Structure 1
């Protein structure tokens, strides 16, 4: 099996960050869908089944909260039915982000918007219950408006405000530029335009000093980081707009792996240690499939 070259570990000082004392990060799992490991990561087995996470992340900040992605929505069955048959797989659902926020007694007036890592269906389905602005770059907005894989986005966001932002700040952790959301270094977005033409990575630093890299679909599983492997060739060809750019950005993130928690969007294990919303139970174990997504 072909492994990516081992990049040199990041040795420069980490960027300055001053997260407010009451800032927090929570995972909001909304379900999983099933695929074979052979389709998830290079070298994976056809016999092994992987349960891909559909999980949003809530960033609580005194200047207003943001969600990273939106997970499965109330209309997930219709969203799945709109996919090509080859793109569907068994799935199970939990409560949507909106319902979990309400169950936790969350004040939705605090929510400034949903910051998308990219616009594929399993990252935007939950926008059907979240009437807040959608944060995305101009490049991802064009992709979502034109690409066949933006069909669900166009359906759920027809009446949403789109908040475009530009990634035009100083270089950040080996990436050419960053966008400092709050101006305090706690949340910095970088371009990773290989999976889609406007995909991003969201770096988050919490008051304890712990750092996270929410990498979206740069790699679907932690194997991509730990074993330095890409998606299988066929999946790179089908799923990525620019596989070579994905490879370059994957190597940049691998170089940071000893300094922060890397969180591929679809690896359930990657969310370990990130608390759920206060007062909500831990996710249920996987049971019978409830239907079929991508």
Structure 2
């Protein structure tokens, strides 16, 4: 199914050449949609009286003159994808609200150059929906997650054929090196300058990954995908609301281990900003595209 286009070493060498000179690093949160729900549905112990927004976002990173995406948000075909592959019994909770403003639409309107690379945190429907909107991009994912993609099927907890089985998607396997980073035992230094580092954080899915970004000002951010849905879950290590976790977390024990890793990470580096993929409170505090965090 997959045509791996470039050996990882060759790709890293290409990115490293860009990193030889000092370059600017910044990112923007591209919000494509949201869902309003009770906080207790997103984090265990969150209560069922307070409403919060859960975002569907992608992260646009600028490194020098290059741009790449971390996840793809809700895409131009999300309504069709949802009708085709979301089970009827799950639609009351796992849904999105209109309007949807796809990443591709926002980037084209802003005149952003074509996206050449997308790093996929994991292959769930609300992260992979927009992949087909970027046929010019190479989509990078861990080998474990590519196995999920290869066995795409309608439902929850895996990946959807309507999103990941398109022939236009150019998949490429990530190869994590045995280089510890921030408590994770393997990593990929994308530009060989420490500004963007990927780490495996399996559990929510078999091949989920996270991304560290250090911007021009020196501020540090960790994009943790769906390890937690809200950053305040890290205060006491709270998992997701248990019925949701049973459905979406492939390995609940490993997911909890990842949460504890993140708690230790924040304890050791209090200035680090953890950005879950769906946390409107954190994301709104940073601002949305076309605003850049520098």
- The 1:72–1:209 alpha-carbon spacing in structure 2 relative to 1, beyond 3 Å, is same
- Alpha-carbon distance between aligned partners in 1 of 2:76 and 2:166, rounded to the nearest angstrom: 14
Q: Number of residue pairs matched?
A: 262
- Alpha-carbon distance between aligned partners in 2 of 1:57 and 1:90, rounded to the nearest angstrom: 19
Q: How big is the shift at 1:133? A: 1.2
**Pair 1:268 & 2:276 matched:** no
Q: Choose from 146, 153, 170 the match for 2:151.
A: 146
Query: Secondary structure of the equivalent of 1:92?
Result: coil
User: Partner of 1:233 in structure 2?
Assistant: 242
Q: How big is the shift at 1:259? A: 2.8
- Alpha-carbon distance between aligned partners in 1 of 2:20 and 2:226, rounded to the nearest angstrom: 28
- The 1:42–1:73 alpha-carbon spacing in structure 2 relative to 1, beyond 3 Å, is same
Q: How big is the shift at 1:29? A: 0.6
Q: How big is the shift at 1:212? A: 0.5
Q: Choose from 86, 89, 100 the match for 1:86.
A: 89
Query: Secondary structure of the equivalent of 1:93?
Result: coil
User: Residue by residue, what CA displacement relative to the aligned partner does 1:203-237 show, whole Å, maximum 9, x if unpaired?
Assistant: 11112110110000000112212342111222222
Is residue 139–residue 197 contact of structure 1 (8 Å, CA) maintained in 2?
yes
User: Residue by residue, what CA displacement relative to the aligned partner does 1:4-42 show, whole Å, maximum 9, x if unpaired?
Assistant: xxxxxxxxxxxxx99944221111110112333332111
Query: Secondary structure of the equivalent of 2:98?
Result: strand
Segment drifting more, 242-251 vs 34-43: 34-43
Q: Choose from 204, 213, 235 the match for 2:213.
A: 204
User: Residue by residue, what CA displacement relative to the aligned partner does 1:103-132 show, whole Å, maximum 9, x if unpaired?
Assistant: 111121xx2211111000100111231121
Aligned positions of 1:1-294 closer than 5 A: 20-62=22-64, 64-81=66-83, 82-88=85-91, 89-108=95-114, 111-131=115-135, 132-146=137-151, 148=153, 149-152=158-161, 154-155=163-164, 157-257=166-266, 258-278=270-290
